[in-house]
Amino acid sequence: MLSKKLQNALNDQINKEFFSEYFYLSMSAYLESIEMEGFANYFNVQAQEEHFHAMKMFNFVHDKGGRVILKSLPEPKADFKSVLNLFEDALEHERYITKSINDLMDVAIKENDHSVKSFIEWYVDEQVEEEASMTKIISKLKLINGEGLGLLTLDNELGSRTFTPEAE
């Protein structure tokens, strides 16, 4: 059984993961609109990852005998100043999600629920990867001044990213 407090916190996080999917799809759509198909693919794959994060938690709440309550999603930002600006927004969003996961872990610790603590560990580790991946791309974008042949090469490189769901 889940405590009411933990169930609410998990439901809030499910909402944030679905919003992340929606936000990255919006970024992907913007990138498609400026013919940056590789970057668009990167965020399309990112959106699939976020869907996976949300559903993993959705299924866990049910496994624990809890109740999932879906809430509405805010409208995501649709326009960006540049590819670099878009990635900076994405990294800022990931930092917000990292804080949210840490807060969720704090609730699990306070409620002394070991199974939730163990489950949330996966997200703690995942956030390190998510932030690192975006930080690396931002560094490259800064190196090439976010334009020219360098931008096209990076776009081409990110076009090959695919979604590979982890083995359970």
Sites of contact with ligand FEO (CB under 6 A):
17, 20, 50, 53, 94, 97, 130
Closest CB to ligand FEO among 4 and 71? 71
**CB-closest chain residue to ligand FEO:** 53
Q: Which residue number, 7 or 46, has a Cβ lying nearer to ligand FEO? A: 46
For residue 131, the SS3 value is helix
Q: How open is the CA angle 60-61-67, to the nearest 5 degrees?
A: 155
Identify the helix (H) or strand (E) that includes residue 56.
helix 37-63
> Least distance (Å) from ligand FEO to the CB of residue 117?
18
Q: How far is the CB of 42 from ligand FEO (least distance, A)?
A: 13
Q: What is the CA radius of gyration of the chain?
A: 17
CA dist 92 and 103 (Å) reads: 17
d(Cα 145, Cα 116) in Å, to the nearest integer? Answer: 43
Q: Which of residues 7 and 127 has its CB atom nearest to ligand FEO in the complex?
A: 127
Q: Closest approach of Cβ 101 to ligand FEO, in Å?
A: 8
Which one, 19 or 151, has the nearer CB to ligand FEO? 19
**Among residues 130 and 155, whose Cβ is nearest to ligand FEO?**
130
Measured CA to CA in angstroms, residue 11 lies from 14, 98, 130 at distances of 5, 16, 21
Shortest distance (Å) from residue 120 CB to ligand FEO: 12
Taking each helix axis from N to C terminus, what angle separates 37-63 and 114-143, rounded to the nearest 10 degrees?
170
Q: Give me the amino acid identity at 100.
A: S
Q: Are 77 and 26 in contact (CB under 8 A)?
A: yes
| Smallest separation (angstroms) from ligand FEO to the CB of 49 | 7
